[in-house]
């Protein structure tokens, strides 16, 4: 099968287009013919080697973290899916590889795709949808009437998270550039802050939750907008001890992660708020719930561009510009 492969970790290095064997499904796997794959900043970070400590992949590695396609074979223990089913998925983090014509995914990471979406639209959802769900609903326990700040509202996670927070009934503030202000308002943002002109930390106060996708200074300043008991949830790091425990990290890695997040956890405690790191995990059950919201019209995909499969490197380069509105997708079939 055709695939785009990382041969060695290197910044800005093009992926190699080559032939790879079609994966053999295990007994609890679903073999999927991929029709479209989402392209994410995470893909560039994996290619650059930024996660090699916590995600020790064996190279060569087929890159790609979310997909939509059709089931072609199922393992002997699979009960939920059959050949011909149209599905979407975020593979488990140790078995990625959606920039390819086929992939074997563990059954519990797969869901029937939303009926109302084309393959390219469905492929844009799994990674950002699960990230937003696990940050806002699972970790954040976001409730009707609460106030949430979602950074980078016009990005992949941001466009989904705004809609999910509005569905819950929260008041949503977001940061974006002036050129994307209308988009985030259409998605449901109540307060839009132009990050190039205004400092969100001077404007917002008394928030229950902040979803930070940026890290750095934005991350530190976010503590100031939270009320006592509020929650800062980061997806750009640093990893915290709870994450180390969830992933079953070694003693050494647990120590490293504790040290990396020590300062921010200490500062959060001083502000009487909490800090959590989310590294999204695969979940077919949550994707099924997300599909129901999409088919009910509560959430819609936001796609910036669709590239042909042969232009996967160009798609990844475009994502790295940081100017994408919503998601970028490659069409494979």
Q: Which of 60, 89, 73 is nearest to 24 (CA)?
A: 73
**Domain presence at residue 158:** yes
pLDDT number for residue 244? 67
**Domain presence at residue 223:** yes
Any idea what the CATH number is for the domain that residue 323 is in?
3.90.180.10
**Domain boundary pick from 262, 277, 292:** 277
Any idea what the CATH number is for the domain that residue 225 is in?
3.40.50.720
DSSP-assigned states of every residue in 170-188: -EEEEEE-GGGHHHHHHHT
**Domain presence at residue 285:** no
Q: Scanning the structure block, which residue is given the tokens 């490659």?
A: 330
Contact 24, 76 (CB under 8 A): no
Cα–Cα distance measured from residue 91 to residue 71, given in angstroms and rounded to the nearest whole number = 14
What is the full per-residue pLDDT of the chain (333 aa) written as tens digits? 999 999 999 998 999 999 999 999 999 999 999 999 999 999 999 999 988 877 889 999 999 999 999 999 999 999 999 999 999 999 999 999 999 999 999 999 999 999 999 999 999 999 999 999 999 999 999 999 999 999 999 999 999 999 999 999 999 999 999 999 999 999 999 999 999 999 999 999 999 999 998 888 888 899 999 999 999 999 987 777 777 677 777 777 778 777 777 677 877 788 799 999 898 999 999 999 999 999 999 999 999 999 999 999 999 999 999 999 999 999 998
Could you tell me if 63 and 155 lie in one domain? no
Could you tell me if 61 and 117 lie in one domain? yes
Contact 193, 200 (CB under 8 A): yes
pLDDT number for residue 314? 98
pTM: 0.95
**Domain presence at residue 294:** no
Could you tell me if 148 and 261 lie in one domain? yes
- Give first-to-last CA distance, the chain, whole Å: 12
Could you tell me if 270 and 134 lie in one domain? yes
Could you tell me if 267 and 306 lie in one domain? no
Could you tell me if 95 and 16 lie in one domain? yes
What is the number of domains present in the chain? 2
Q: Which two tokens mark 133? A: 């769900």
Alpha helices in 125-277 (DSSP H): 126-132, 156-168, 181-187, 200-203, 216-222, 241-246, 251-270
**Domain presence at residue 99:** yes
User: Three-state SS for 290?
Assistant: helix
Cα–Cα distance measured from residue 300 to residue 307, given in angstroms and rounded to the nearest whole number = 20
Q: Note down the domain range covering 74.
A: 2-124+301-331
**Domain presence at residue 116:** yes
pLDDT number for residue 250? 77
Could you tell me if 262 and 133 lie in one domain? yes
pLDDT number for residue 72? 98
**Domain presence at residue 283:** no
Enumerate the β-bridge partners of residue 16: 5
Could you tell me if 120 and 133 lie in one domain? no
Residues 25-79 pLDDT 10s? 999 999 999 999 999 999 999 999 988 877 889 999 999 999 999 999 999 999 9
Cα–Cα distance measured from residue 115 to residue 72, given in angstroms and rounded to the nearest whole number = 19
Torsion of CA 262, 268, 272, 277, to 10 degrees: -90
Could you tell me if 117 and 137 lie in one domain? no
**Strand (E) or helix (H) holding 150:** strand 147-150
With residues binned 3-state (H G I as helix, E B as strand, rest as coil), the percentages for the chain, rounded to 5, are: 35, 25, 40
Could you tell me if 190 and 320 lie in one domain? no
Could you tell me if 106 and 137 lie in one domain? no
**Domain presence at residue 291:** no
Could you tell me if 199 and 273 lie in one domain? yes
């Amino acid at each position: 099968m055709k695939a785009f492969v990382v041969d060695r970790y290197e910044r800005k290095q093009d992926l190699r287009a080559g032939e790879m064997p079609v994966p053999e499904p295990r007994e609890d796997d679903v073999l999927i013919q991929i029709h479209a794959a989402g392209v994410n900043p995470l893909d560039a970070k994996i290619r650059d080697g930024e996660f090699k400590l916590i995600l020790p992949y064996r190279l060569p590695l087929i890159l790609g973290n979310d997909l939509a396609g059709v089931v072609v074979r199922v393992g002997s223990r699979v009960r939920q899916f059959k050949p011909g089913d149209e599905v979407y998925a975020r593979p488990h983090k140790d078995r990625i590889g959606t920039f390819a014509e086929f992939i074997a995914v563990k059954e519990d990471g797969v869901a029937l795709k939303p009926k109302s979406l084309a393959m390219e639209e469905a492929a844009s959802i799994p990674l950002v949808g699960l990230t937003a769900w696990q940050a806002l609903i699972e970790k954040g326990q976001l409730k009707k009437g609460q106030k949430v700040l979602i950074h980078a509202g016009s990005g992949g996670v941001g466009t989904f998270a705004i809609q999910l927070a509005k569905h819950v009934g929260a008041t949503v503030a977001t940061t974006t550039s002036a050129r994307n202000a209308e988009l985030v308002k259409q998605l449901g943002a109540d307060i839009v802050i132009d990050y190039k002109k205004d400092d969100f930390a001077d404007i917002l106060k008394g928030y229950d939750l902040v979803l930070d996708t940026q890290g750095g200074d934005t991350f530190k300043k976010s503590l100031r907008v939270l009320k006592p008991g509020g929650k800062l949830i980061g997806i750009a790091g640093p990893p915290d001890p709870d994450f180390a425990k969830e992933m079953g990290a070694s003693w050494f890695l647990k120590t490293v992660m504790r040290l990396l997040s020590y300062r921010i956890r200490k500062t959060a405690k001083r502000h009487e708020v909490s800090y959590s790191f989310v590294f999204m995990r695969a979940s077919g059950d949550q994707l099924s719930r997300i599909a129901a919201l999409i088919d009910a019209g509560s959430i819609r995909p936001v796609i910036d561009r669709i590239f042909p499969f042969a232009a996967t490197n160009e798609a990844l380069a475009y994502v790295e510009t940081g100017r994408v509105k919503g998601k970028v997708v490659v069409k494979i079939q």
